[in-house]
Structure 1
């Protein structure tokens, strides 16, 4: 029996493990014509998030955001702007395989604004339990990690990009 990788996110926790790596990721903040936000429920921690994933060698941040959105939700998007750069040491992610710690990451996330250009909502079972469009006023009904909520709130504000 193979054990799945689990993810545990820490936020402003002085007892969080010390990071062993620092990696860039891209996320996309996508709204539909009705103003609803694209969210997915992660497989590895059961929390709701916006499409997010690591930037691979040979691709740009924008390409990573587009790829991750397609892989996780079935939707092809076009990047239209920047929500912000989120690099606070307050966020630490532990990746576990069984009981073994694989990595303790302090992420650097570049959150991009994007719009849907094609595709149909279809969760990728290895990445997302569910994908749905959510009214901004209903976000408090969803378990969302504070680091992700910071990105979402920045996107909803439609202000200058956040750098922090």
Structure 2
């Protein structure tokens, strides 16, 4: 059996590999460390913005649908119940199931009775959007929520009859 030939350069002479470089592989470690330090806050920012956008969609949809439900009802009491149900569905559609709709929804009528022809009904929906991964108990101590609010004005049919 013959011994393996030594590593040679282009001229047939043995190549000097020298001592091992102590910095070999350091760039990869530095890149991974920097990537993790930069990507974790970036991912958290994206999650926060997504949650905030969902809250914005929820309050806008809830205000719009609550206004429609109120002005198309047969009576003011039925309208309030329908507006709360519509707002609850719109909020739940975006993942805000735990919101107390009665506290989030405010109705303001321009006439008395509320469903007088030509009157307007102002609807305001306000929801506090919590930051991702923050426990609910901690939110009671430190305000880690962003309030989101939407308003809508709906007009009662001008050619209808007065509904109590």
Tell me whether the two structures share a fold, i.e. TM-score over 0.5.
no
Question: Quick one: higher RCO (CA 8 Å, sep 6+), 1 or 2?
Answer: 1
Q: TM-score scaled by structure 1? A: 0.24
* Structure in which a larger fraction of residues adopt strand: 1
The alignment's TM-score, normalised by the length of structure 2, stands at 0.24
